[in-house]
Chains A and B, each alone.
Chain A
């Protein structure tokens, strides 16, 4: 009497194909990921349930934290045109090298007369502690530098979009959008000052940047 033998099958699965697929996907995600620059001004945004995402381009962001105001334009070419216009308006001259540096600068928070000094520093020394913030007040004069920055950035966006008109597959994204990225603990008067600065130039629509909160 021989025992009935259960036929044993091997439990090892061929992982080669799975490995191929997973590395293909990995490569895809690595290549499509945009490396995020560490922020100079660390902003802990409040949370909301808004589903809309912040656009990547055609945007100017005003960051507010610790009572300091920073400004940045997303598009490097628009950045350059903005600085050109600002340099004329405030009679501050910048070298070609400064323009190159400024194109790579995501956001800054210094008065325009100190901007050259900031641009001359290497990237890792442009810390928050040496940047006092862009001067903001309730006027529409040159003393309210944020007003000028936003206005020149909006003009530069129009100029840039117009220059690209006629390019193939170019769709005019419209006027520049403005977003306010304020810290959750920032007191209202600072935020109000910025809202009023925007309203003074009829930029009545803007966005608050928030994090995502799970539905309550």
Chain B
């Protein structure tokens, strides 16, 4: 600038200086904003990714749909998923159960305690063989119930469980216990 503004000597009192503005800008607010945006983008990208819960079903027997696997009575508990976010569970066969159907809630205080108890009790009764859980969702149960119960299997670490079809006797049980409402 100095070169361009060289005057031809009209101003005798020396160079005229342009007033220097302060060289520093307060960047605090800008940094605040930048970090806010960083946080926003971090949270919306990586943390927003949905989870995938893997489910494996057995091969379907298309020739004989009623081909049911026989499992030992004293190893299996059956969970009937009813309406109103409740479960009815029994141990053994429904016709002559070791523990008759009982209504229970989902979650830590409900079904998890049962599963933990049975995980200890079943090997004692069946000579060291582990627990089998049969999950039977009724048509009044919702997807959340199924995901909750599968999640519970993972939390309690039940090694053997399966999802199977509910039969009419078990629907009767749910009706009797008042768990078959819309």
A positions within 8 Å CB-CB of B: 12, 15-16, 18-19, 22-23, 25-26, 29-30, 32-34, 36, 45-55, 64, 179, 181-189, 191-192, 195-196, 198-200, 202, 204-213, 216
Binding site secondary structure of chain B? mixed
- Pick from A22, A52, A187: contact of B140, CB under 8 Å: A187
Q: A54-B52, A208-B143 are in contact. List 7 more A-B contacts (CB 8 A).
A: A19-B27, A19-B34, A29-B42, A52-B51, A188-B142, A204-B56, A209-B51
Q: Give the dominant DSSP class at A's interface.
A: mixed
Q: How many residues of B contact A (CB 8 A)?
A: 48
Using a CB–CB cutoff of 8 Å, the interface residues on chain B facing chain A are: 24, 26-28, 30-31, 34-35, 37-38, 41-42, 44-45, 48-60, 62, 81, 107-108, 137-148, 150-151, 154-155, 163
Most chain A C-beta atoms within 10 Å of own C-beta, residue among B30, B108, B146, B155: B146
Inter-chain contact A46/B144, CB cutoff 8 Å: yes
From B26, B50, B57, B81, contact of A195 by CB (8 A): B57
Contact B31 A19 (CB under 8 A): yes
Which 6 pairs of residues, A with B, have the shortest CB-CB distance? Answer: A15-B27, A29-B41, A22-B34, A207-B52, A184-B144, A46-B144
Nearest chain-B residue to A207 (Cβ)?
A: B52
Measured between C-beta atoms, what is the minimum distance from A180 to chain B in Å? 8
Alpha-carbon distance between A85 and B25 when the two chains are bound, in angstroms: 63
Contacts of B154 in A (CB 8 A): 49-50
| Complex interface: chain A residues within 8 A of B151 (CB) | 48-50, 213
B142, A204: Cβ atoms closer than 8 Å: no
A212 contact set on B, CB distance < 8 A: 51
What is the bound-complex CA distance between A33 and B42, given in angstroms?
8
B28 lies within 8 A of A216 (CB): no
Please measure, in the bound complex, the distance between the C-alpha atom of A206 and the C-alpha atom of B146, giving whole angstroms.
14
Query: Can you list 16 A-B pairs, Cβ within 8 angstroms, ordered by A?
Result: A19-B30, A33-B45, A49-B154, A50-B151, A53-B49, A53-B51, A54-B50, A187-B141, A188-B81, A204-B56, A205-B54, A208-B143, A208-B146, A209-B50, A209-B53, A213-B151
